[in-house]
Amino acid sequence: MQNESKFEGSVLGFIGYSLLATLITTCTFGIAFPWADVMFQSWICRNTIIDGRRLYFDGTGMQLFGNYIKWLILTVITCGIYGFWMFNKITHWRTKHTHFAN
């Protein structure tokens, strides 16, 4: 028998975390994006169950910060072209730090 997969997050939680992440990123001119991203990813994982197993996220803003600055500089130098790779790099980093809790 296969266990259920579901997302338990609420619309209010999504709105709250989205607004907070946007505010943090905007007020710091993008410098605090890694911390905002980690906060949002942690919320998503805390509310996600795959085949009956809850996810957890162990990444930190400081772990992402160095790579983020490097990727941001490459995006600016290439007039935005590296932004396509940056999306994949961040998605790879998020996936690398997502695990089953049990």
- Judged against a pLDDT cut of 90, whether residue 1 lies above it is answered with no
- Judged against a pLDDT cut of 70, whether residue 83 lies above it is answered with yes
Selected residue with higher pLDDT from 1 and 9: 9
Strands 53-57 and 48-50, by their bridges, are antiparallel
Query: Average pLDDT over the chain, rounded to whole?
Result: 94
Residue corresponding to tokens 């999306």: 87
Tell me the mean pLDDT in the region 68-88.
Answer: 94
Q: Give the separation between CA 45 and CA 43, rounded to whole angstroms.
A: 6
Specify the pLDDT at position 3: 85
φ and ψ of 8, to 5 deg:
-105, 0
**Residue ranges of domains in the chain:** 6-100
φ and ψ of 46, to 5 deg:
-60, -25
pLDDT tens, 22-56? 999 999 999 999 999 999 999 999 999 999 999 99
Q: How confident is the model at residue 21 (pLDDT cuts 50, 70, 90)?
A: very high
Specify the pLDDT at position 88: 95
